[in-house]
Every structure is written in C-alpha cells, then in structure tokens.
Structure 1
Amino acid sequence: MQIAIASGKGGTGKTTVSVNLYYFLSEKYNNRVQLIDCDVEEPNDMLFFPQAKKEAEKEVFIIVPEIDKERCIYCKKCVEWCEFNAISIVQRLKFAEVNYELCHSCGACFEACSFEALTPVQNSLGSISDYRTTFGAGIVEGRLKIGSAMQTTLIKSVKKLADSNQHLTLLDAPPGTSCPVVETVATANYVILVTEPTPFGLHDLKITVELLNKIHKPFGVIVNKAGLGNNTIYQFLEENNIMLLGKIPFSKVYAENYSRGELFENIPVDVEKAYHSILGNLATIIN
C-alpha cells in the first residue's frame, strides 16, 4: 500500500510528519515500511538520518535530440511537432538548437525529421539514492539536477523503486498543487494532507482538497502546530466531512530538536501521544 504525505504550502511540517510516520509506523509494522522522498527539487528527509548508509546511487537519463547541422535543412518541421518549444531554428541564419531543459523526451521530433538530422543522446536529469536506515525498510531519495525542469519525469523513476514486498510505502510529496504533486499522489492509495491552523494554511488546504477531489483520491488531514492560530480550519473540516486524522501540538522543544536534525531524540510526550493517536486512525485505512 502507498500513502502520500502532501501539503498545499511549504512550512506546514510535511517533512516532519513524513519522517515521524516512517519512524512510528516502522515500529508498528516490524520495519516493513519504506519512505520515498519525491520532493526531488529539495529533498531533505535524509537530514534526519545522519547514521544512514548509502547502498546505491544511479544517475537518471532521458533521451533528447542532438541536431546534425550537416544533415539539417532547417525546414522547421521538428519545431512544429515539438509541443514544448524545446527546438529553435532560424533558417536565415542556419541556426538550430535544442533546449534540453525544456525537452520532455516525447520523440515527436524524431518522427518529424525526414533527413535523419536528429541523433538521440542521453541527458542527465539527476540521481536516485537508496539508503539503509537503523529502522524501517530504507529511504529512496530523488535529487533533480540543478536547472532541470523535469521534476515529474524524475519522480516517476524514483517511484519505480517502491518495494512491493513492504507492508507500506510512504511518499513524501513536494509542497504545493502543481504537476510534481499530482505525479506523486497518482499511485497512492491514500493521501495525508498536512496543514497548520492559520489563514495561509487553510487557504492552501482548500486548494489541495479541491485537487484531490478532482482526481478522486481519498484523504485525511493532520493539523500540525495545533494550539497556534485559530479554529477556522477545524470548522472547514467539519463542514466538509473531511477526516481529521490527528492534531500535533506545537512544541518549542520539538522545534529546537528539528533545527538540530534530532527528531527522534527526546520526543515530547504530548507529541508522541499525538502520533500514536494518528496511527490508530490510520490503522483501519492501512489494514
């Protein structure tokens, strides 16, 4: 089973919840829980696992076209077929160039060219690393190459390393509601939305709820930093019959632990109690 952890905005505590669920669920399900960091632009789950051992790393490539200017007649047919504006041709100047940051490796340009002027070459998207942790089944991390816009392509590759032999796979999604989030939650059986009881938190939660309703994904909500802000977010959940999986109280001590990367050391009693309550609510969904 796959559960995605998402949030409509950054800073709500999505990563904190993700790694804590990995910790507590691993304890509950005999370490048969895997965590996949799909926030490939800014992966940071591994910051909280300094003792983790990297077992494997591989570079991810896509096939992109390289223009042979001796064969190219600058007819612009490949430009017309490219839906992503990745190819630029100026016939008068005999100029032809491919922007690899825009190329989606769809292959349309190869079909368009009748003069064999395009050669397929490999272009690096980034890397995928597999880590062994002291608990759980391990963490998979995708890391996008700086400057690349192919987040969804790399996320697809990262998710292929989901271990079907595990009891549970957690997908730590990027923040927001854009294409990388949709790609992350696409295969999930259930989505956990992490929010905060503030006007900004509620605003972005509403947008994310609308997204998940449109793609017909079942979900529940965890309110992080409970005790701050106001109660408007709880009214929204009640009015829309949205399941409240739990409330994690704001804790200055725990925030300090987070800033040092020490989430699993000296967990405050009320925070630990909140996570066990969340696990109880998730039990019927997971089982």
Structure 2
Amino acid sequence: MYIPLKPKGASTILLVAIVGISLISNAAGADFDCKNIKIGNFNFNLSPLNKEYRLSSKVYTPPTYTNTDILINPCGPLKVDTSLPAIDRCEDNTWICRKVTNYKQDRPLVIEVGTMAGGQKSSAPHFATDQATEQKPSEFHWKMDGTTVEGNQWSTDILFKCDTNGKNDDNPSIRQYENGHLKLEWSVPAACASESGTTPDKDKKPDNDKKPDSDNSGSGDGFFSTLFTLIFVCLIIYFGVGMVYNYLSNGYQFWREFPYLCVDFGRYVWDRVSGRNRGGYSVV
C-alpha cells in the first residue's frame, strides 16, 4: 500500500542549495593563484612571498612585559602549530594571525589571539588599486576579512608597493591597528607589475624567444575549471531537488513551483559568484 508523504516545503531545497553553494565557495577559494594576480591590464606574481613572515613588538610593564606577534602569509593559510592548545592559536585556514602574550618571570600567558585574515576554506584576498588601471600601478591593496568578534568584522589591508631595489625577504611594516582592523605596508620587488604575468627580475635579461601565450595558460585553466565546477554543482542541485520533490509530493507541486525556485536560486548563485555578498575590495 502506497501512502503519499506530505512535502516538507522549502527546508529541503534550502538544504540542497546550501550544500551546492558551499561547494562553489570552496572551489573559488581553492582556485586562488598567487602567481597570476590580475589588476586592470596588468599581472602580479606574489609567489616569492609564499612563506611565513613574523612581525614582533615588545612593551615593558614591570614586573611584566607583553609580546605582540603577527604571522603573515599573503599567498595561503598559515601552518597550524599543533604543539599549542587550540585556545592559544588561530583557527584553521588563517592567513594572518595576531597573538598577544604577557610574560611574568618568564611564564607566558596568552591574553589575546585572533584571525586577522582568513579562517574559512573559501577565503581568498581581494585586490584593488587607487591608481588608473590603464597605467602600470606602482602600488595596490591586498585585503581580506578575518574573524568576527562581538559583531565587529576583523580585517587586514596590505598596501603593496613596487620596490625594485628591495628584497622579497623584507618584512612589511604596520601602518595602523585599531578595533580589529590591521593596515600594513609592504615594499618588495614582487609587487611590481608586468604585462606578461611575470615579476621583473632586475638581474635577469628578458627572454625574447619565450612565447607570450605560455604565461597566460594558467589563467585560462583556472577559469574553465571554475566554470565546469559551477555547471557540475548546478546539475547536482537540479537533479537532487527534482528527486526529493518527486518523492515527497509525487511530482505535481515541485513542477508547479520549479520556475520560482529557479529564479530565486539563480539570483542567489549570481550574488555569490559576482561577489556582491562578499566583503573586501573589488577591482576598480
């Protein structure tokens, strides 16, 4: 004997949609390529900075002193120090971590630790420049949101400046820190733009025999990879929603509501992909 079940309404499709959007967001974060950053008509290669940098400062308040450490990797998440208790370290997928430790008679006490950038698998920086994008920018902004503390969204804004006389091992400097918002300045050769997508090397002569198409192949591959991922996820959601509604409502109610569901879901996916709901800078 067949007993029809009552449909559970929008909760089922909402669950399927959330899963699909999560897959899209994770794919977007995984596609970030530090070697091929495009701003306007120019490319930047920050891969020489793909390592951990540390900024430290000390304040003496006898009989104690306080250390403030900021760990930075502009190209990806920091390595997790599993030797520390979870409460004394930043969350997973953190790109920039700020930690404040107080010492009394050499006994450490962590009094503050927070994710200044990252914290989500889908985290990726946003880039922008205040200069005209038709001309080669001499500086640009790297920006990413971090954790949220009592309704306040922490964030980091790094002002990269092209410095052909500097070294990529040079640390950034702190411009400002206030209410969970960190501003840094970083002058390095890796911040210099090029039309070919490679960072200029002052000690190396340009190779005129190299084919220009080889530098942009990675960008094309990343685009098509993201496109196919979007199509695949949308197909999964389409068939998943169809099967669920066919089972719960014997098909009739689903197809009656399907056009409206498609419109709502399409708007939601468009907002996510176009970046309307994401914090940070957009390229200007």
* TM-score normalised to structure 1 length: 0.27
